Structure 1
């Protein structure tokens, strides 16, 4: 059985996945139709800072990286990093790839943690940009144009937890 995970946020950076100890056997480009990317998931530790989220949009599509994870244990580990089930819920959705539709696990911000008017920090946005090989040029330009806050220096492995 395959365990697919669709990353649209900081986990588009394969180095971040590896730093978190999340082994994957393959990574490919994928799109989540019917949604758009939003930076509206409130940080748990820094006021005014946003993390990525997906929100319904009839004409939108979120681009990202589809990882083939090793097993269910990898998803359980991922839950810890995403703050599931409190900050994000893990949902199974269909994503489109070059070889057709695949079912994948996707993290969606819980409504209690969604807030308008937030901005991602530049270091967080850089994780998204690290997935450039899996993104269309138009989507990459959209990410590069995203307004952001200056990065705050993180100590230790704090940056690995809860999308910090």
Structure 2
């Protein structure tokens, strides 16, 4: 089993589990809130939408924090996610990060994805995309959700 840290649209369990993993025979064994220190959430991955918008990414940033969902799953799930995240086409790369479990306070090693092909730093997500992030509100801290809700939108 491996931990996968989702900070973007894969925080939505309907997207991650129902649409991506389960059709490939992969189940998530557990899902908890995780905190990634010294990184920040950015929407600097260009999405070819109308209007142009930003997808989620994380950027090293001392003193900042990104919350997300830690998803425990079989290692086979990473191959599925690699396809969706465009690892072979150079869109994202896997990164091993230390994430603190909110339920135990203990750090775990987790796989996450960091964007390689970036757009401008001032990109904004579409309302529909941001809704995927907010679908993780069952686990995320209320103040982090409030911050996401204040995020400027492309539409």
TM-score, normalization by structure 2 = 0.89
Is 1:142 the equivalent of 2:147?
Answer: yes
Shift of 1:32: 0.4
Residue of 43, 53, 60 corresponding to 1:39: 43
Q: Which residue of 1 aligns with 2:15?
A: 16
Is 1:125 the equivalent of 2:130?
Answer: yes
Segments of structure 2 that go 5 or more residues without pairing to the other structure are none
The DSSP-based 3-state class of the residue aligned with 1:19 is: helix
CA distance in 2 between partners of 1:114 and 1:88 (Å): 13
Segments of structure 1 that go 5 or more residues without pairing to the other structure are 151-164
What is the correspondence of 1:75-114 to structure 2 with a 5 Å cutoff? 75-85=78-88, 86-97=90-101, 98-99=103-104, 100-110=106-116, 112-114=117-119
TM-score, normalization by structure 1 = 0.84
Q: Which residue of 1 aligns with 2:29?
A: 25
Q: Which runs of 4+ in 1 moved over 4 A?
A: none
Shift of 1:148: 1.0
CA distance in 2 between partners of 1:21 and 1:56 (Å): 28
Shift of 1:133: 1.3
Shift of 1:149: 2.4
Shift of 1:115: 2.2
For each residue in 1:59-83, what CA deviation from the matched residue of structure 2 results, as whole angstroms up to 9, or x when unmatched? 10100000001x2221001011111
